[in-house]
Structure 1
């Protein structure tokens, strides 16, 4: 697999999708992590650095190295990076909600960032570009209407390991590639510790299910049964996050799935 070709394919695909929207700018939440780093590099290659607006949105417990990596990224690719501190609005919601767990606090932070990004998109005549990879989408490892909310998702077809390989091919900022994946929701938080599995194991199992079409018993022969069952259960139980809300049937008459092609082909 040629990962430079994948970078180029994603660049062309994004450029075509972006141009159809009529937007002037691409608005991206920059975390200092590998996903937003790859997304911003592709966006700059596709539409030019001057049309990419990056926003680093720290909470008061966010690590300094996340900001440093975000800054290195913007310097490497030349896009604008603004800082919007979400501590005050997030704390206001946390106070209202009361007795929040770390997970609930993380969801509040993610939704505060979503509000800011969509408002910045409106301010800059742009659209929000997503940074969620395929592994996260399948696991539901993201906040619904938070960090998973976007108008175009560039890396949604890439497993986490492929994000790294494409980033290596694109000569990504070294410190971003080397550090442990983290949402930086609280001091010391890492993705793999929170998930309970390494990304290597998760991606291997997901790949064998999706691409190799292995059945459950075949997976048991390669991996421990508990890991297989937990990952499958998580993919299934979080499936609702991958779709727009289910529309209930009224019984009036059969209606087709909403499809913009119907409207594009009215004159044919």
Structure 2
């Protein structure tokens, strides 16, 4: 049975990541978006350990529907690191952006009053901030982890764009272990993972909806009361460790039954998770920047 990284492995990985960040930055300064969640907190602390606070730019974004605790925690992270936190107030701009998209392209049925389209707009607009800093010479440091990448919980032209992803090779449970080593506050470690796009959002509940849907949700769909009940049943069976062990089994070429045995996730949910990952591969992990050069 393949194992996730243990405490000793994580300690060695910490050194390797800091060395990698130091080489990647090579005299340049880093820019990192703080969400108030665990991943960005860990990445910010790693960057400071690598190159010092003076070469790390931290920003957060205020948008409609954010949890107060996420803003508070982003500020606390910056205070811990003794770095000014630049707060970009985008307020209702994401919703207005989706309204403009809906008016321009009614065939797509964009939903400014829904959850998914405004959430995507929030992520996209955060990326515009990174792009603006990048054009001033900053190196964009990503905060995505391997669990998000393999399940498709990212926006390819949003939070999936960065110069260097120091935790992109680590599953979420491994990032939690890393957080204990780098000094992440306990309240950040213990809070449910969330992108923070709307009040009460939790990643495991979102994943449960994806599992019911059979893959990432494109256009917002209507879920019935029966659907919601099924989602809640699925959610009760999910843990981060079970998901990560299943994903690790997939990466090693295990069958669904083998993955189920190794992760303790029910076989039916393992099959659904594989379907989600395959769908993410088609829609979220399509190679970027491909080109067809003419022969010289």
* TM-score computed with the length of structure 1 as normaliser: 0.85
8 A contact 1:139–1:234 mirrored in 2: yes
Q: What's the CA shift for 1:249?
A: 6.1
Aligned mates of 2:290, 2:58 — CA distance in 1:
34
Q: Which runs of 5+ in 2 are unaligned?
A: 1-5, 103-110, 209-237
SS where residue 93 of structure 1 aligns? helix
SS where residue 58 of structure 1 aligns? strand
Of stretches 194-203 and 31-40 in structure 1, the one that deviates more from structure 2 is 194-203
Match of 1:265 in 2: none
Q: Any idea what the Cα deviations from partners look like across 1:140-190, whole Å, max 9, x if unmatched?
A: 101121111111111101100000001112221121111111111111111
Of stretches 196-205 and 142-151 in structure 1, the one that deviates more from structure 2 is 196-205
Q: Which runs of 5+ in 1 are unaligned?
A: 256-268
1:171 aligns with 2:183: yes
Aligned mates of 2:291, 2:164 — CA distance in 1:
26
Aligned mates of 1:175, 1:133 — CA distance in 2:
20
Match of 2:199 in 1: 187
Query: In angstroms, what is the RMSD of aligned CA positions?
Result: 2.0
Q: What's the CA shift for 1:248?
A: 7.1
Q: What's the CA shift for 1:243?
A: 4.7
8 A contact 1:74–1:80 mirrored in 2: yes
Aligned mates of 2:82, 2:14 — CA distance in 1:
18
Aligned mates of 1:246, 1:127 — CA distance in 2:
19
Aligned mates of 2:84, 2:200 — CA distance in 1:
28
Q: Cα distance 1:89–1:223, how it changes in 2: closer, same or farther (>3 A)?
A: closer
Q: What's the CA shift for 1:112?
A: 0.4
* TM-score computed with the length of structure 2 as normaliser: 0.78
Q: How many residues align?
A: 248
Match of 2:285 in 1: 242
8 A contact 1:4–1:170 mirrored in 2: no
Residue 102 of structure 1: which of 93, 101, 115 is its match? 115
